[in-house]
Structure 1
C-alpha cells in the first residue's frame, strides 16, 4: 500500500492530566508528539514545545500538522518528558482511532480525550486534544455511501446504520 497522504490534519495538543513517571507527578518539561499509523514505513510527526510550568497537568495549546497516509487506522499520541540527565522519557501513549474524526465534514473540530498507557500498559494520565481535517487529496474521506433508501418523497435521504452482531443465546 502506498504511503501517500490522503488528508492533512490539524491536531491541537491542549493539555494533559495526572501525568506520572514511576508513580511520581511530573515536575515540568512534558511535551507531545503525534504521528500517523504508517504501516511500517517511516512517518513524519509533529511535536510541541515542552511545558515548563505545568507540572503533572501541563498545558500546551499548540497546533501540529500531520499528514495522514491513506489506509491509516490511528494516530499515535505520545507524552514525553525532557530531562537533561535522562534524555526524553516516555510518560504515556494513546492510540487515537481515525474513525473518531475522519467521517465528518472538512474543518469540523473534534475535542477528544484519551487515556495514556505507560511502557508496561498501565494507565498513566489523560491527554486532551482537538482534531480537524483541513485538506484531503485523492478520494475524499467523507461519510461512507451505504444504507437503506428511505421514503425519498418525505425524507429526501438515506437511512444509515451500523451492523451489530448479537450472539445467539441458543448456541453452545
Structure 2
C-alpha cells in the first residue's frame, strides 16, 4: 500500500555554487529514504527566470509514497559550465508534514550542501490524493437482505 501525493516543485531561493548565485542549469530530483533510486526529477532550467535570482520549475508530480517511507529527499542539482552535475542543496522532507487531507499546503525547507552548510530554500506545494492499494482488496461480499423461505 502507498499514499498518493501531488507535489509541485515551485522554486528555490538563494542557491549558490562556488559563491555564485545559481540562476539556470538547475533541476530537482526526489527520492524516498527507503530507496536509493531517484524516483522523480524536474526538467533542467536552461534560462534565467526573468531576471529573478531563483530557479523556478513549477512542475507537478503525482508520487506514490510507500507506507514505510519517513522522508522524501529533495536534491537540487546544477550542471556546471564544464557539464558536470553537482548537488548544491538537499532537504529531507518528513512525510508526516505532508498529510493534511483536502487541503493544499505551501511549504519551504532549508537546503543543505554536501559540507552541511546552509544553501538556500526550496518551496513546494503538496496535496494528498489518497491511500491506494497496490493489490485488489479482498473481503466478504455484501449480500442484500433476502427473506428466508420456510
Q: TM-score range by the shorter chain?
A: 0.7 to 0.9
TM-superposed deviation, 1:65: 2.5
Is the CA contact (8 Å cut-off) linking 2:29 and 2:38 kept in structure 1? no
Residue correspondence of structure 1 range 37-116 to structure 2 within 5 A: 37-38=33-34, 41-51=35-45, 52-54=47-49, 56-83=53-80, 85-102=82-99, 104-105=100-101, 107-116=102-111
Looking at structure 1, the residues matched to 23 and 11 of structure 2 have their Cα atoms a distance apart, in angstroms, of: 15
Looking at structure 1, the residues matched to 17 and 66 of structure 2 have their Cα atoms a distance apart, in angstroms, of: 32
Any gaps of 5 or more consecutive residues in structure 1?
139-172
TM-score of the aligned structures, taking structure 2 as reference length: 0.78
Instruction: Calculate the aligned-residue CA RMSD, in Å.
Output: 1.8
The corresponding residue for 2:4 is 8
TM-superposed deviation, 1:27: 3.9
The corresponding residue for 1:134 is 129
The corresponding residue for 1:19 is 15
Looking at structure 1, the residues matched to 23 and 56 of structure 2 have their Cα atoms a distance apart, in angstroms, of: 13
TM-superposed deviation, 1:69: 0.8
Number of residue pairs the alignment of both structures matches: 130
Looking at both structures, which has the greater relative contact order when contacts are Cα pairs under 8 Å and sequence separation is at least 6? 2
TM-score of the aligned structures, taking structure 1 as reference length: 0.69
Looking at structure 1, the residues matched to 104 and 55 of structure 2 have their Cα atoms a distance apart, in angstroms, of: 22
Any gaps of 5 or more consecutive residues in structure 2?
134-150
Of the two, which has the highest radius of gyration?
Answer: 2
